[in-house]
A and B are shown apart, each in its own frame.
Chain A
Amino acid sequence: MTLIKTKHNRRSFLKVSAATSGGMLIGFNWLTRCTPAGEPKVAIPNEWFDINGYIKIGDTGMVTIFSPNPEIGQNVMTSMPMIVAEHLDVPWDHVVVEQGALDEDAFKNPQFAGGSLSIMLGWDALRMAGAAGKRMLMEAAAKEWGVGIDAVTAADGIVSEKEGEQRTIGYGAIAAKAVGIEVPEELELKEPKDYKLIGTPQKNVEGPKIVTGKPLFGLDFKREGMKLAMIEHAPSFGMKPVSFNEEEIKAMDGVTDAFIVDTTTEDPIWAETNAFHQLVTVIGESTWQLMQAKKALKVNWERVSDPENTVEHETKLREALQAGKLEEGGRVDGDPEAAFANATKVVERTYSSPFMAHNTLEPMNFFAHVTDEKAELIGPTQTPKALEDTVSKLLDMPVEDITVNMTRQGGGFGRRLYVHFGVEAAAISKKAGVPIKLIYSREDDMTQGTFRPTYRSTYKAGLDENNNLVAFSVRGAGIPESPVFPNRFPAGTVENYAAEKINVATNISTGAWRAPRSHFTAGAEQSFLDEVAQAAGKDPIDFRLELFDRAKNNPVGEEYEYDAERYAGVLEMVKEKANWGVETPGVYRGVAAYFCHNSYVAQVMDIEMERDKPVVKKVWCAVDCGILINPEGAKNIIQGGVVDGIGHAMYSQLTFNDGTPDQKNFDRYQLIRNSQAPKEIEVFFVDSEVSPTGLGEPGLPPAVGALANALYQATGKRYYHGPFATADQDQQDVELI
């Protein structure tokens, strides 16, 4: 039996906070966010009853579930409400889903989309919300019938009397009487074996609106009396605007105002990362007119720090690897230096990857309406709370007077963890004295910064005369942060082990990019291990499994950050599913496995050469994310991760000249296209009753390694440097040995 505490921060789960999501909706119904989970089988209610922060029930039995977290395409708007519905025990086709507003007190859950954490961190609160609601409905019915709570049960949206008269009542008919009922301090939760909804494939609840072009996204938001705003940030990092041709711009058609806005705040937190705090702003009636105004801008820019370029970045990374200062938090087991000296074979390879942009297809944007009394913010953000806090600081306004509503978001990938565009919207609305929607052009978006850092790591392995891995080291440098995770695999599996981190400073702003650091490290480490396995004359999967045996039976060092059993489990699963070891003429295979963001993913990738070009024919994925909530959405996001991993490893890069990104739009920044994607991606999940973990990121990193390894089989060439399609692969910091 699983019991769960119903108190959270000393407050009962029952408590419906003053600003329940239901209340917020009144101002938010422009989006018609009421999205039926399936074809609704119940009539539209006349009256709704608030059960708790997640649930309101209509008199017809229709149930509204508020999805707490930002929806950036990871499909939490379907999977999170599924967990609530399962524990409320209501049929999915009685459910409509609405995006909840920012109200962490009502949701008892951190409302952010990052680190693939939504499901993992929400698991308790979501189950509790459903179970508490069910308990309240049961109590209300028991009271109505004059029987004890033990005499009733509830399932499929109906409360039933177990014996006696065996009366039944629908959730809709009893909901009014359930409002305000106290729930006990502990509640019994369903066991996984009893799940009816969790683990069944359910379609994206917003699918019907997406395919018919309904206004869902931040860029689609419109409010009566609202103006549009666009900004111009400095063309080069390390610059800011001093003045511009203000009068000329203000005289242009459709321009109602123009000024320089400053969004500098005291003691910025990580989510406030931003290289451009002073922005030339134009305000007007239509996007096209504002785009013309931007073109007509003549700005005097002042240089405040030195411009950087890509050649210099590459040199700095090379120098850092040779002589850079090691950061705290590295790891040493045994005596790597002696072990390398005594090794029979030593393999040393250097890997690198350039800066990248996030390029969410919906560019940054936000609506803000700031008055002296309050601020209202609506738009796409992965961190609504950090946005609220920062706007509070910027405007010197208490958070109680600020509301943040989330729209559906046209991609996240980490880009919308950073709050500058919402803060800019607030600053602009305040200065202009009107409600505004700030819109970034693609060029503004791609050149603004918050880029994925650039990395360079050197891996070294020593094998003894029996081809056992006796020494392993990684030294990784990044601008501005090292990509090395010292306690991840293969830590714990090698007697003599070293992991070293080196950071290199920059004035280019960087940020988390889908599976931060893991996307690079997985590619480097997994292709390095492929080469080491080859040097050892071992099958690459067997080679890894041997290492996991060591971690399972006799781990090296005090700690390591993975479950060797589960890690080996996905490799064994993919080995079986892909028929690993069976050679097919003309088919070249690569394998990789990686653990990050609490989930395990192994992949086998098949490449065939067509007209001398490698084509990814099929990818097999084995995934262990604990309990699987929605297999349909889960498969989709893993498939997307594979495509994203291949795309960015093969084609994407951002380079700099004189502090300015060379790539400003999709004509020069290459993203993977339909014809370049794998022809088939099959996804398998480990059957598990372990608490669920996320999938937004873990599908991507192993794809980079599997790709490099399959490419090697297909072309005889190892791929060390991104983007694989164009980078010089012969650059090594030492002679290849």
Chain B
Amino acid sequence: MAIFNLNINGTEHQVDVDPSTPMLWVLRDHLDMVGTKYGCGIAQCGACTIHVEGAATRACQTPVSVVGDKEITTIEGLSKEGDHPVQKAWLEVDVPQCGYCQAGQIMTAAALLETNPNPSDEEIESAMSGNICRCGTYVRIKEAVKKAANP
């Protein structure tokens, strides 16, 4: 076990965990931030996507020991009022079915739009293809990403 001081959503959090613990479980089990989801544990489904220094990152493959003082953003901290353009677009398009994957989808989409504010259809598909939606809301996900880019 070791103590880590983490910078999550602009707030410092201290945890005492095994250094190999992935950020996914640090967030969910130790900090009660459960918006970041467990889907596969092997970086195949994208449900656990968070931002590390703004880049979309799979929390299940990010040991707490490599994070240091890097800025972490989770779905809980993407916006204060739940009104990030991507969140607003997601509601407007009424994307979710079961909703389980959507936090990860939104985090991937938000990171995409930071680096590429007006992505083409192909760029959206390519960026979003690491995130599985078992309910099959892909058509709406694409529509919402476009809406967020051009509200």
A residues whose Cβ falls under 8 Å from a Cβ of B: 71-75, 203-204, 206-208, 210-217, 219-220, 222, 228, 253, 285-289, 291, 359-363, 408-413, 441-442, 632-633, 636-637, 639-644, 647, 665-667, 671-681
Contact = CB atoms under 8 A, between A and B. Distances in A.
- Determine chain A's interface SS by DSSP, over half rule: loop
A73 B97 contact: yes
A675 B30 CA distance: 35
A20 B8 CA distance: 41
B106 interface: yes
Contact of B44 (A288, A666, A678, A679): A666
B82 A212 contact: yes
A645 to B, nearest CB: 9
Contact of A411 (B34, B75, B98, B125): B98
B129 A673 contact: yes
B132 interface: yes
A641 B97 CA distance: 11
A637 B97 CA distance: 7
Contacts of A642: 136
Given A204-B96, A210-B102, A212-B82, A674 B38 contact: no
Given A203-B91, A679-B121, A211 B82 contact: yes
Nearest to B1: A253
A73 B96 CA distance: 8
Contacts of B82: 208, 211-212
B26 to A, nearest CB: 8
Nearest to A71: B98
Contacts of B36: 213
B132 A286 contact: no
Contact of B132 (A72, A409, A666): A666
Contact of B94 (A203, A361, A643, A680): A203
Nearest to A220: B34
Contacts of A413: 134
B136 A639 contact: yes
A680 B61 CA distance: 33
Given A643-B136, A643-B139, A674-B129, A212 B75 contact: yes
B131 A674 contact: yes
Interface string B8-33: 00000000011011100100111011
A212 B76 CA distance: 6
Chain B interface main SS type: loop
Closest 5 CB pairs of A and B: A213-B35, A643-B136, A73-B98, A410-B100, A213-B75
Given A210-B103, A641-B136, A677-B138, 16 more contacts: A73-B98, A211-B75, A211-B82, A211-B96, A214-B35, A288-B21, A288-B22, A359-B134, A360-B134, A361-B133, A409-B98, A640-B135, A665-B42, A674-B133, A675-B129, A681-B139
Contact of A410 (B75, B98, B128): B98
Given A217-B100, A253-B18, A680 B135 contact: no
Nearest to A360: B134
B134 A411 contact: yes
Interface size, B (range):
35 or more
Contact of A677 (B22, B76, B106, B136): B136
A171 to B, nearest CB: 28
Contacts of A288: 17-18, 20-22, 25, 29
B96 A207 contact: yes
Nearest to B107: A213
B29 to A, nearest CB: 5
Given A207-B94, A286-B29, A641-B136, A215 B44 contact: no
Which residue, B22, B96, B97, B132, has most C-beta atoms of chain A within 10 A? Answer: B97
A363 B98 contact: no
B136 A207 contact: no
10 contacts: A73-B98, A75-B97, A204-B94, A215-B35, A253-B1, A287-B38, A288-B20, A361-B47, A362-B100, A677-B138
A639 B139 CA distance: 8
Contacts of B91: 203, 207-208, 211
A361 B125 contact: no
A212 B103 CA distance: 7
A675 B121 CA distance: 9
Nearest to A644: B136
Contacts of A219: 34, 37-38
